[in-house]
Amino acid sequence: MVTVSFDIDWSRVGWLAFGAVLLGAILFIVRAFIGTFVFGIFIYYATRRLYRRLRGRVHPPSLAAGLSILGLALPAVALLLYTVGIALQELDRFAKNADIGPLLNTVEPYLPLTDIVEKPGALLADPAGLNGVQTTLESLLGVLGFVGNGLLHLFVMFALAFYMLRDGYRVSAWLSNFGDQYGVLEEYVRTVDRSLDKVFYGNILNAVVTGTIGAIAYSLLNAISPSGIRIPYPALTGLLAGVASLIPVVGMKLVYVPVAGYLAWLAFTAGTGWAFLGMFVGISFVVVDSIPDFLIRPYVSRGSLHVGSLMFAYILGPLLFGWYGIFLGPILLVLFTHFARIVLPELLVRTPIQPYAVDPASLTGHVQEPDER
């Protein structure tokens, strides 16, 4: 009779269980703030190249990271939020005349704030009796709660980007402890980091800049439009042009060409406004389309990511996850693509990764930095 004995290291089992509980708690927090975290990752990649340039001239690293965040990310996010607020107001007006389906449910929680921001005096109007005072206080508390929650999320975004900029090399060194003799982990992390840099700094940053420029340009253009010929929902049209720039080949032409056709129809029926139509087409092509493309597109390289798969990630991400899906979709695509290309062959046939990763600091392109704060 064969006796099977199990030599269980209960100390190790206990630590593994404790680690699983901690991992579950961390995943629960990340899930609650998933949009905040993925936008923080975008801010990190959008400012990392500026940080690396400042790092050689500005000391300590904390100051270089802070200047990168305050000098580039904070003004850009503030301008973007203002533009999005205007676009939400226009979307609200559009939704009253047309059925936009599930999209309205996505943005509806943010619409009351846009009305209050548009007419802040309504909150301070002379209330009619006690009920008016109570209604005003409830509205003010609602706004303060919304703004406070938004500021908390913004703080987490910028703090995450700041510490990733400053201490990214520490994460690289820590990950090197889990490497193997074939360099699979090192190559996987390095390739994922390179792809995310190209996606976030190139494609999505280009879309954000384009959308903001488009919203401002179209809003200013509408201010000088002739009577009866106006760009419909200019800020919303500009943001949609920025989102459409993520689509290969045709890009934002999917937005401003139909709008140009609509303005041409208005000009034809009114017998005037052709000069305004020409200004719209010229500004759309030169200011909104060409200038951002010439300034940012040279930094864009999709690398080993398929153009079609990247396009579907941009489209399906927001549909599946909400507003932050435009960031989370490409992240998941990058993780999956390089797992299938690098890790899966090693798991199946143990094909060594070439070239071997010998420098742990090369995981994310960071060099070893002095411990200066």
224-283 tens-digit pLDDT: 888 778 888 888 888 888 888 777 667 788 888 888 988 888 888 888 888 888 999 999
Mean pLDDT over residues 305-325, rounded?
81
> pLDDT band for position 372 (50/70/90)?
very low
Contacts of 107 (CB under 8 A, 6+ apart): 88, 91
Instruction: Please state which of the ranges 213-217, 354-358, 364-368 shows the lowest mean pLDDT.
Output: 364-368
The residue type of 98 is: A
Distance CA 317, CA 329 (A): 4
Residue 267 is predicted with a pLDDT of 86
> pLDDT band for position 306 (50/70/90)?
confident
Instruction: Please state which of the ranges 94-108, 204-218, 316-330 shows the lowest mean pLDDT.
Output: 94-108
Residue 203 is predicted with a pLDDT of 74
- Note the pLDDT tens digit of each residue in 43-75: 898 888 888 888 888 888 889 889 988 887 887
- Note the pLDDT tens digit of each residue in 3-20: 555 677 778 888 889 999
Q: Give the burial string for 156-195 (b: 16+ CB within 10 Å, else e).
A: ebbebbbbbbbebbeebeebbeebeebbbbbbbbbbbbbb
- Note the pLDDT tens digit of each residue in 318-353: 888 887 888 898 899 999 998 988 888 877 776 666
Distance of CA 242 to the CA centre of its chain: 12
In total, the chain counts a number of residues equal to 373
Q: Are 211 and 81 in contact (CB under 8 A)?
A: no
Using CA of residue 76, residue 78, residue 81, residue 87, what is the dihedral sign?
Answer: negative
Q: Are 310 and 199 in contact (CB under 8 A)?
A: yes
Distance CA 360, CA 190 (A): 10
Distance of CA 127 to the CA centre of its chain: 41
What separation in angstroms does the CA of 248 have from each of 90, 206, 251, 254, 330?
Answer: 27, 13, 6, 11, 15
> pLDDT band for position 25 (50/70/90)?
very high
Distance CA 68, CA 70 (A): 6
> pLDDT band for position 366 (50/70/90)?
very low
> pLDDT band for position 24 (50/70/90)?
very high
3-class DSSP state for residue 355? Answer: coil
Residue 105 is predicted with a pLDDT of 61
Residue 18 is predicted with a pLDDT of 92
Does 95 have pLDDT greater than 80? no
Residue 141 is predicted with a pLDDT of 65
| pLDDT top residue among 205 and 301 | 205
Query: pTM (2 decimals)?
Result: 0.69
Distance CA 112, CA 33 (A): 22
Residue 111 is predicted with a pLDDT of 58
Q: Are 183 and 357 in contact (CB under 8 A)?
A: yes
H helix runs in the chain, sequence order: 10-32, 34-55, 61-68, 74-95, 102-107, 111-118, 129-175, 184-197, 205-222, 234-244, 253-270, 274-283, 291-296, 307-321, 325-338, 344-349
Residue 21 is predicted with a pLDDT of 94
H helix runs in 249-368, sequence order: 253-270, 274-283, 291-296, 307-321, 325-338, 344-349
Looking at residue 179, what DSSP letter applies?
Answer: -
Residue 246 is predicted with a pLDDT of 74
What separation in angstroms does the CA of 339 have from each of 17, 56, 188, 247, 356?
Answer: 27, 34, 7, 25, 17
Instruction: Please state which of the ranges 283-292, 303-312, 333-342, 352-361 shows the lowest mean pLDDT.
Output: 352-361
> pLDDT band for position 22 (50/70/90)?
very high
Distance CA 349, CA 50 (A): 41
Q: What is the rounded average pLDDT for all residues in the chain?
A: 76
> pLDDT band for position 126 (50/70/90)?
very low
